[in-house]
Structure formats: C-alpha cells, structure tokens
Amino acid sequence: MKTIFDKSIRDELIERIGHVNESSKSEWGKMNVSQMLAHCVQWEEMALSKRIYKQSFLGKLFGKKALKGFIKDETPFRRNVPTVPEFRIKETNGNVEELKKKWINLMKEYEQFGDSSFVHPFFGRMTREQVGILAYKHSDHHLRQFNA
C-alpha cells in the first residue's frame, strides 16, 4: 500500500505538485486550482498537528468504519467525495506558486513524522499507518483532479 512515509512516493507527489499551475483545470468538483492547493495545505497542516480539530458527532458514530473503507486497498478516492466543512476553501484567488511551495514544504515534514496525535474532524484519531495511507490517497486524489 502506498504511504506518504515512503520517500520515493513523497518525491513522486512533490514532482506532481510541480506540474500544477495557474491554468490547471479541474476534471471534477467545484474547486479551482488555488482552492485545491489551499485545501491540501490545510489538510497537511492538520495531519502534521499544526491545526487542531475535534471529531464531529457524526464522525464519532461512523468515522472509524468510513476510514477503513477509504484505506482498505489501493483504490483511489472516487470523484466528488464530500469534504468536511472545516476544509472547504472559500477564497478563490490564492497565489498558486506560493501555495505549491507551502504544500511541498509540508510534504517534506513527513520525514520527521512521529506518532500520530491529531484528530481528523470525521475519522477521529488515526494510527501512523492510517495517516500515511490516507495522506497519500488524499494528495493523489487532488493531483488527479487537476491532471497532475
């Protein structure tokens, strides 16, 4: 299973981030390229415990089961998977190059990742292994969304 903690996988994702530019168009969903980049930066900040969230009530009921479904195999996330409200980006005109650099720098921080201590707003507390798989799949999903 692919994981963000594998350096070669991380390097591949970083290279793909480099292919995103101002004119990148979405294959699905409502986000433009700067919203996608800001969303991914925010997601990585959460996974790296730079942003703190509480698990939602619905997440407490269904989060663990849903997480198992998301990371059970190599299948990519399906198109138009809903996002939790905390990760919906309303700003539409972010600096694409600045956001790419920020995302790449966050990706590099996974090299020093210790035990998982963050709480995903829906899935709740996750193991290091779960974080690695979900972080890869999340990044891959959005890069595929923008043909990168």
Query: Does the domain formed by 7-145 have CATH 3.20.20?
Result: no
**pLDDT 10s digits, 10-24:** 999 999 999 999 999
Whole-angstrom distance, CA of residue 105 vs CA of residue 111? 11
pTM recorded for the entire structure: 0.93
- Mean pLDDT over 24-36 rounds to 95
Nearest to 66 by CA among 51, 54, 53, 55: 55
Per-residue confidence (pLDDT) for residue 87, from 0 to 100: 85
Could you read off the pLDDT of 49-66 as tens digits, one per residue? Answer: 888 889 999 999 999 999
Which sequence spans correspond to the domains of the chain? 7-145
Q: In whole angstroms, what is the distance from residue 105 CA to residue 100 CA?
A: 9
Q: What angle do CA 143, 147, 148 make, to 5 degrees?
A: 55
Averaged pLDDT, 45-50: 91
Enclosing H/E stretch for 125: strand 124-125
Question: What share of the chain has pLDDT > 90, as a percent?
Answer: 80
